[in-house]
Structure formats: structure tokens, C-alpha cells
Chains A and B, each alone.
Chain A
Amino acid sequence: MKIVDDNPSALTALDRPNSYIGRAVPRPNLRRLTQGRGQYVSDISLPRMAHVAFVRSPHAHARIASIRTERAKKAPGVAAVVTGADLAKIMTPWVGVLTHLKGLKSAPQFPIAVERACWAGEAVCAVVARSRAEAEDACELIEIDYEPLPAVTNAETAADPATPVIHKELGDNICFERTLDAGHVDDALASSDAVVETTFVFGRHTGACNEPRSIVADWNEGEQRLTVYQGTQAPHMMQNLYAKHLGLAEQQVRVLTKDVGGSFGIKVHSYADEMAAVAISKLLRRPVKFVADRIESFVTDIHARDHRIKAKIGVKKDGTITAFEIDDLTGVGPYSVYPRTSGIEANQVVSLVGGPYTTPNYRAKARVVFTNKNVMSQYRAVGHPIAAAVTEGLVELAAAKIGMDPLEIRRRNLYADDAYPATSASGLRFEKLSHHESLAHLDAMMNYAALRSEQKRLREQGIYRGVGFASFIEVTNPSAAFYGVGGARISSQDGATIKLDAQGNIGVHTGVSEQGQGAEAVIAQIAASSFGVPIEKVRVVMGDTDNTPYGGGTWASRATGIGGEAAWQAGKALRANVLALAGAMLQARPDALDIVNGAVVDKGTGNERLSLAELARVAYFRPDTLPPGIQAELVATRHYVPRAWPFAFTNGVQASYLEVDIETGFVKLLKHWCVEDCGTVINPQLVNEQVRGGIVQGIGAALFEQCLYDERGQLLNGNMADYLVPMAAEMPDIEVGHVVSPTSDSELGAKGAGEAGTAGAPACVMNALNDALRPLGATPLTDMPFTPDKILRALGKV
């Protein structure tokens, strides 16, 4: 038997006539992009626009003794040379802290380094010129005297008294610490039949977006207004930051986000060089463009992961997991990234470890330290891949130790599907998850029993294949609990405005943004379904702080669940307005009417009564014919924020099947499966591609990607030849299945799906690898990425 479920059945609760919910409709932006008419920031060119290039510190830590700019200022095409001291006069520094991460501290960060450079790659000086090439030429003429300072590059010793403190005023190199102690861990471990203890290591990696970070900033001295074109995930957040640090009102700042070539969490943060570009535009009173090149991307785009976790699990012979214990250490660079901080990933790890399981005994310790490497912050599936790898790695090691099948140990410990609502040992609140149904679905989909017999047969021929699993939970649809309560002006609510035009089409203005994942399509589907028009009649407007309702943007798997619900409600509100008007025009009760396929119809019969085009014509051009007292209101706005649950947790389970060449240590991925539960599926094709893309990034973490630093704090592989982004040729087929447990926090019931793939993939690849090598007596591999080098060492070949 084989179940392949790439097309989940549509839902009924939301199944309005000609509903697009649950259907794979083509994305409205496809034609624009395939015609080459997308507008990325690089495509924007404004009159008098100058280009910014930065001189970046070659040292991981150095005092900037002097900067001589005379030669550069005289170079061809140069408009200005700008230092950190220049910008400090017009832009205030920032500190990346959140009050709900107690004790989190960081130092003031400037748009361009002032006095000290704290990582190799930090901008030290900027040149503004007619072209980027001329700006780069002039950068070579700037003479900077650096006095190298000791660099802190080892997180393990960063907090030692003997290690120099990066920011003296902070007293030490500790950014954040969190501890948690639930249940009775020591007793539980003591009463276990087996305890497994190991250390997991997660390589530092980054997002490697197709389109690098890029910005055009245009300060208009006449209007006293700043317009910023930026590939960002959070336009309103950026509006706030630019206004705040330039001393402007938010209405003096407009952020425009058009097409964005991928972001993965990279583009949801402030970056010093982007803040500098904005300040330079204000300083010079002219538009400037900064587009990070690939090398700059590697040394300045936020990095992520880079955790070392000592971990322990206790288990009884019957498979009962008695306790989890972890000790996490991560080094995040010299500053906590503003405004979301660099404490969230470790915080998430603490919250999420053990999350799928009922085990009440859990102790965790996390320490986040400053280092002189590039900054780290939130990247796709923040903390989840780490927590899942630790949890699921421990679970499979424990299963192997007691001789239990890895699916069976999960069945005995996962929250039962009827156990909700439930609260985890770390305090996470789950509304409704479906671990067991997902597991059963996966078991059938992959034909697990047949794989195990194939594995056994092939082992006799010297072919080593492994199967590995990962159950996971995922934070989606975050409420204000994520950032707002910590004092950050990052909106957790989102809004949608829907307008009926004079021909019966609708424009949907939404606060969420599109970065290639299909948010535009999803919002169009929801609005079309909710209001009642064919999707061709919907135009979505996003990424413009002047023209969209205030919203958070797209991150933490929130666009569909939160922005989509706002669009759903706005569609309903506009439908009610239109039907009130139609009722007056048709002398019918509004509740006996509906809008279907672009026309007002009788709800019972479905017979068309009035086209929306005709209704709009009358409303806009012949309102004199309407009954007295009737005023058409053909624009509706609704906002939505989750209130009942701080997060809409989703769940799922993945499996990896792979083969290890035990002579070379090379891994061939044969197949990957994922069953996930993101509640209501709006567009199955987009969900599945989100899951697949996420899995590929997770596989990157497990096998390929790592930002390699030497002990002096130099990045060794900051280019696309040496930093191995996963490529299609090495990727397995990925089958995706669904279980649907809608959230009752919204009518739509949609939860997020953008990070589920990334959350579980590293864990199950690791488990599959260790499953493959177990008969050879190899030391279990727990240090990602699993390079041929590490695999050969585990096998004792070198």
C-alpha cells in the first residue's frame, strides 16, 4: 500500500460557492515575474541617485585609530565619503534588547562603526559615488589605521574571566541566559532503565537569498519625507526604526517593498549598512542605493544556529521517556541584532525541546555569549531545527539503546490526539495537535515495513541505508507574546482593506508581504472566496506603508494565518456592505442574498440578481437613484490578531531514507517524506512547496551548509563555491501529506506552514544517517553538518 497525498481534500466549513480555499490556483505574480517585469530594488533607479559602497573591517576586533579619506574624496565620480562619526550626528544608535527576555543585554550599535570594529565585515566607512564601480574604486583609496584587539572567537571560553570583554560597559560577554526546571529531572533520570547523554553541535549557517539585501533611500528635503525601497519582510517595522533613529515622525517615512528574491528570515532585521544608507540619503539630500554583493552578504547577513548542546534523555524499558535535560551554548556575534534580538533562538530551543512528548521532567539551561564574528539572529524556523534535532536525536538513540522501534517509542510518548488542550513541560500551550494521526499517515505513506526489509536485505550486500524520523512542533501565528510584550514595535496584528472598484473588481490592501512564497496568491484566494468574486477580479496591494493597513509583515509563519484571517474578515465585511446596498436596490432582505462569482444572487436558488459591475455603477455614478438614506460603503477594513492562544502550534513528522557510501563517507538522499498539520490548507501547492523548500534548507543544515571561521574570526568560505547551498541534483524526492486540525482562534482555521520543513529535516537526516551506520558500530554523529570527513572519522576510516 502506498499513500501519496500531495493534494489534501478541500475543507467544508469554508466551502463557499466557488471557493478558492484548498485549491492550487496559479499565483497572480507569476506572469509578472516570468515576463521579467518584477521590480526588485536593483531595478529601481531614481534621478540623482548615487551608489554606496562600504569599506569593511578586515579584522574581527580592532580599534579604528584613523581614517584618511582625502584621496577617495577626489576620486572620479565620488559625491561623499562618510564615516561612523558623521552618521552618529544624525542617526541615534540602537540596542537590541527585549524586556521579556529577562537580563538580555547588548551594546549600542551605530550605522557605521565608531572607534571600534567588532567583526570582520563590519562597515567602517562609506563612499557615495555616481556608480557602484566608482564607489568601490574610491574605497580602495581610503586609508584606515587599525589597532587589532584580541578577538573572542570561541563561545566555550567567551564568558571565562580570562577572556577579554568585547563591550567593557556590559561587564562580561554574556548576552542572555535562561534556565528552566520542570518536574523532577534528577529523580526521573535515577529511576530510568537507560540514560543517553551526548553533545549536539549545529554549524553556523545563513540564508543565501537569491536577491541580496538591497535598499534605495530617498530623502526629499522639500517634502521632508523619506521614501525607502527595500526588500524587507516587515515594512512597518522598518518605517518605525528609520523614523525613530532619524528623529522623524512615522508619517514622514514611507517604506515600499516590491518584489523580494527570498528572505528566509534574513530580511526581517535591521542592518547597520541599510540604516547607514538611509542616514546617508538624509545627510546628502539625495537618493542613494546600496545592494549588498555576495561577499558582503556572507559577512553581514545574519547567521544562525551555531549551538552546542549537551543533552540527556532517560528512558524506561517499556519506552517511557522519563526526562530531558539540555545545556545550550551559542555565540551570537558582538551585538544582539535589533530589534528582534539574538536571544530568541536559544529561548526557543529551551521552550521547544521535548515539545512533542508528554514527559513532564525537563531541565534546560541556555547561555548566549558575544563573540567577534558576524551577528546571529532569527533565520527560518528559529530554534526549531535545533530543538527537534536534540529531542529526536535523543529519542532515537534511546530507542536504539533499549532495542525499540523508533516509531514505537514515539507512539508511546507523543501527546495523544485527544489530549488537548495541553501544556508542555516548558509551558507551551497546545490547542490541538495530531501527532499520532500524522505518524500513522507517514507510516503508510512511506511503507515503513517494506523499507525496513529492503534495508535489511541490502545490508547483507554491503549497502548501508538508514531510515530516520523527526516528530516536531512549530510556532506559528505569533501573538503579541513574541515581540510586542517585550517592548518592540513589531505588530502582531495585521489588517486588510478591500475596495470595490467601479467595474466590480476588488483591490485588497494587506499588511503582509510577499518574498516569493506566495502570500500574494493566498491573500487573493481568501479575499475572492470571502467576498465572492473570481480570483481574476482581485488585485492585491502589499508592501507599502502609505497604502496598506498597519501590519507585521511576513515572518514566523504568520502571513496566511493572521493576514489571511484579516482578509477573510474584510471580505465578509465588504460583502455585508454590498448586500445591504443590493438589498436596498433590489428591495430584498440582505440576508436572503449572497455574492457568488462576481454577482449578487438569491441565496436559496443561486439565481443572479445583479452584477457587481452594475451595483458599482449605480453606487458610484447614479447614487441619486438609490433610496433616501442609503449610503454605499464599498470599502471595508478588518484587523486580526490571535488572542486565545499565544501561538498556533502546528505539528508534523518527517522521515528520511538515505544511503551511506561507507568507503567515501558520502551520503545519497533517496527519499524524504513529511506529514504536517497546518490547519486549514488554503493552497495545497504553495503549502507543499513551502514544506519542500523548508526541507531543502534543513537538509542544507544537516549535510552541506556552514559558515566556517578560523580562530582569528575570519570567515573562510564566504562565497557560493565554498559555502555549499543545497542544490537540486543532491535533493531527494519529497512527498508531502497533510492532516488538518484547524485553529479555532480564527474562522479560517489556518496555521503557518513556512517553517515546518526546516524544523524537522536536519533531525531526521541525522537519525537516518545514524541508523545506516549503527550496524557498523560507528559513533553516533551529532555534529552538523555531517561532512564526509566527519562520517569517515565516525567509521574509523581516518
Chain B
Amino acid sequence: MKPAPFAYARVRSVDEAVALLGETAEAKVLAGGQSLIATLNMRLSAPPLLVDINGIDGLEGIAHSDGTVTIGALTRHVEAERSGTIAAHAPLIARAMPHIAHPAIRNRGTIGGSIALADPAAELPACLLALGGDIDIAGPDGTRTVKADDFFRGLFETALGPCDILTGIRIPAASKNTRIGFAELARRHGDYAIVGLAAAAQGDGKGLKNVRLAYFGVGSTPLRQPKAESALSSELNGKSIDAAIAALDLDPPDDVQATGAVKKYLAGVLLRRVIKQLMEPLQ
């Protein structure tokens, strides 16, 4: 398992990266390499050039200001996992983090890389979608911001163009009314989940409002569930929960771990479990 030959360039700036990506068709960005290197070694992809962005200053770090948490693209999972800022202001990310692969992978893998790859079974894209975050992108025409709802477009397909670099993500910081829920079912700890659910909402008396549900592992992208969300946003009781489950609009394909029918059924089980979490105010 050796990769096909490729050229390698280590860049010092985002502009340099964007320029290089523009010069070589099919070039790939190398960040933490936790997915890319495996696909290269298995010769599932053979890009002519790897643009290593690890040397770019200023693309990493976690900050909180003005009600927004900003996470630089090169921030490693482990930094988010151990960050007090994330724990306090982005608790959904904090809750998801231990479920993501294994420590060795979290040490190296980047937050930006996970979002940019957009593996439909990955936790972070779903969290970002549930939180209604924004993705900051630098490209040949300058910088732009894309909402998470518009970012994930198809299987491993995002709003990123071939010459774009994802520079960071922004998510609304948690407030005292923020509710979050996260659950996934994986046969072994650290595996991609058979099905997972990241959720965010606002507490509203005994109920919830602005419920956002993002399933992962059940389609070609993380999937919002508008009908179930609205079923839960009006009132919250056994009937509305049953209605939300009935309203789940999922048609997962079979894979090697579970059939689509089971995934769909488990999505309902997870929703019940996540709603319990959503009903708990944050500590």
C-alpha cells in the first residue's frame, strides 16, 4: 500500500495555497491527512500535487467573542477536545468530540479537514449543521462565507471550489437557553456510526424552539429534518415526539454495518434519546 507518485508543496500563506491549487488540476489540500493519506495509500485517489497547508500561520486556534465561537481550520481535534472555550461556549462540539475516532487520529486530524472532506458519517459536519454555523472560505476571488445549510451538497461534495481553502468555521456561542443533544450508535467505540444525531435548540418554558436536527451516517450528507424539527418546536410531549419520529424523512442505503431499514429505525430511537438531552438545561 504505497501511494502513486505525487508532487508536494508546503505553502506559507492562504494566497499561495489558492494560487497553487489554481495551477494544478486535481491537486489536493493536505491538512491533518487522516483521511487523505489512507486514500492515497490505497490508491483510491492519485492527485498530482499535495498542497500542504500545515505551515500557514493563523489558521489554527479557538476564539470566543461577540457571541460567536471561531475555530481555525488547522485546529486539531484534540485542541477542541481540551478547550475550555469549546466546553463553555460550544458544548455540542465538546460532547461530540470523544466519539470521533481515536486519540491518535484526534491528535492529528483537523477541524477544517473534517468539514471540508464532509464525510457523511462524520460527527463534526453534523454538529456544524445543527448549530447553524458558518464556513469561511478563501478562493481565487477573495474570501466568502457560506452557511452550513448551504455547504454540504452531495457525497463528499461541498460549496468548496477546486481552488478554495476552508479557513475556519464560526458557530453561535451557547446562551443560557441553549440546549444540545448528541448520540450515535457505533458497534465499536471510535468507528463511524451506523447512525448519529447532533441537535441544538433553545429552551422555551417546558418546551423547545428553533430545534435543529442533523443526522449523520444515513445519507450522502448530514441531513436536517425540518418536519421533525417543527413537530418538536411547537409543543413537546409524547405525541409530538411520536409525530417527529414519524416525520423523519430518511431513506438510508444499506451498508456493511446495517441495513437501511435498521438505520432508519435506529434514527427514531436516537431521536427519543436526544430529545431527553434537549430537555436538560446546560449546567
Set of chain A residues within 8 Å of B42, measured between Cβ atoms: 295, 719
Set of chain A residues within 8 Å of B256, measured between Cβ atoms: 708, 716-717, 722
Alpha-carbon distance between A704 and B2 when the two chains are bound, in angstroms: 29
Q: A140-B4, A295-B42, A792-B262 given as contacts; is B187 within 8 A of A729 (CB)?
A: no
In angstroms, how far is the closest chain B Cβ from the Cβ of A120? 16
Picked from B188, B261, B269, the residue with its CB within 8 Å of the CB of A704 is B188
Picked from A136, A703, A788, the residue with its CB within 8 Å of the CB of B43 is A136
Alpha-carbon distance between A730 and B191 when the two chains are bound, in angstroms: 12
Check: A747 CB closer than 8 A to any chain B CB: no
Set of chain A residues within 8 Å of B261, measured between Cβ atoms: 798
Interface size counted on chain A using CB atoms at 8 A:
32
Q: A137-B5, A704-B188 given as contacts; is B258 within 8 A of A788 (CB)?
A: yes
Within 8 A of B (CB), among A277-336: 293-295
In angstroms, how far is the closest chain A Cβ from the Cβ of B141? 37
Check: A447 CB closer than 8 A to any chain B CB: no
**Cβ B259 vs Cβ A133 within 8 A:** no
**Cβ A788 vs Cβ B1 within 8 A:** no
Q: A140-B4, A727-B188 given as contacts; is B269 within 8 A of A787 (CB)?
A: no
Check: A102 CB closer than 8 A to any chain B CB: no
Q: Do most interface residues of chain B lie in helix, strand or loop, or is the interface mixed?
A: loop
Contact with A along B234-273 (1 / 0, CB 8 A): 0000000000000000000000111101100110010000
Residue of B nearest to A717 (CB): B256
Set of chain B residues within 8 Å of A721, measured between Cβ atoms: 191-192
In angstroms, how far is the closest chain B Cβ from the Cβ of A58? 13
Set of chain B residues within 8 Å of A724, measured between Cβ atoms: 187-188, 191
Give the residue among B1, B191, B192, B258 with the most A Cβ atoms within 10 A: B1
Residue of A nearest to B264 (CB): A798
Contact with A along B1-14 (1 / 0, CB 8 A): 11111000000000
In angstroms, how far is the closest chain A Cβ from the Cβ of B62? 27
Check: A460 CB closer than 8 A to any chain B CB: no
Set of chain A residues within 8 Å of B269, measured between Cβ atoms: 663-664
Q: Size class of B's contact patch?
A: 20 to 34
Check: A405 CB closer than 8 A to any chain B CB: no
**Cβ B191 vs Cβ A789 within 8 A:** no
Q: A133-B3, A136-B2, A295-B42 given as contacts; is B259 within 8 A of A789 (CB)?
A: yes
Picked from A131, A132, A294, A798, the residue with its CB within 8 Å of the CB of B262 is A798
Alpha-carbon distance between A797 and B259 when the two chains are bound, in angstroms: 13
Alpha-carbon distance between A166 and B91 when the two chains are bound, in angstroms: 59
Q: A295-B1, A798-B262, A798-B265 given as contacts; is B257 within 8 A of A787 (CB)?
A: yes
**Cβ A797 vs Cβ B265 within 8 A:** yes
List residues of B whose CB falls within 8 A of some A CB: 1-5, 42-43, 185, 187-192, 194, 256-259, 261-262, 265-266, 269
List residues of A whose CB falls within 8 A of some B CB: 131-133, 136-137, 140, 293-295, 663-666, 703-704, 708, 716-717, 719, 721-722, 724, 726-727, 729-730, 787-789, 792, 797-798
Given contacts A136-B43, A666-B185, A788-B262, 9 further A-B contacts (CB under 8 A): A132-B2, A663-B269, A716-B256, A727-B190, A730-B187, A730-B189, A787-B187, A788-B194, A792-B262
Pull 12 A–B residue pairs with CB atoms less than 8 Å apart, ordered by A. A132-B2, A133-B3, A136-B2, A136-B43, A137-B4, A721-B191, A724-B187, A727-B188, A727-B189, A788-B258, A789-B262, A792-B265
